[in-house]
Amino acid sequence: MPLPEVFRYATFCFTGFIDAVFFPGRREAKPPYTLKLARFYREQQRLSEAEAEYARVLSFHPEQLEAWQERLDLAFLRKEAADPAPRDVLAEAIHALPQPRDKEVIFQRFSRLSQGILDQ
């Protein structure tokens, strides 16, 4: 048996305990990022930090439509200071979202925001 497999079997009980403490019920493949911190930054008008947090969330969960919607809203809110610009956020979202319905939702949101129509 190769050494990595022996090591894995030898440490199974210990790593299983750690996994049970930090990830009850199952082992997580990705860190459990949420949108709470990004939303907090946005509420506090810390828009650059909010953008960075949305980017971090989407790096782990690129299929999360809600995060794309909020990031797009933020880009429109920041106007000229937006980095990335709203069109860039739209392009990234369409590329990252796997479902055609989600792509349509984000495109429709972009269209409404471009016309100044907020649906909140």
What is the per-residue pLDDT across 69-107, written as a single tens digit (0 to 9) for each? 999 999 999 988 888 999 999 999 999 999 999 999 999
Question: Which tens digit of pLDDT belongs to each residue from 5-45?
Answer: 655 566 656 656 555 555 555 444 544 567 899 999 999 99
Among candidates 90, 50, 85, which has minimal Cα distance to 69? 90
pTM: 0.70
Four-way CATH pick for 36-114: 1.10.3470, 1.20.120, 1.25.40, 2.60.40: 1.25.40
Q: Residue 116 has what pLDDT? A: 83
Q: Please report, for residues 58, 61, 66, 72, the alpha-carbon distance to residue 82 in angstroms, rounded to integers and kept in the order given.
A: 17, 22, 19, 10
Position 64: which residue type?
Q
Phi and psi at 119, nearest 5°, equal: -110, 50
| Domain layout of the chain by residue ranges | 1-30, 36-114
Q: Residue 43 has what pLDDT? A: 95
Q: What is the mean pLDDT of residues 43-58?
A: 94
Instruction: Report angle CA 110, 115, 120 to the nearest 5 degrees.
Output: 65
CB within 8 A of 115, min separation 6: which ones?
none
Among candidates 62, 66, 40, 38, which has minimal Cα distance to 52? 38
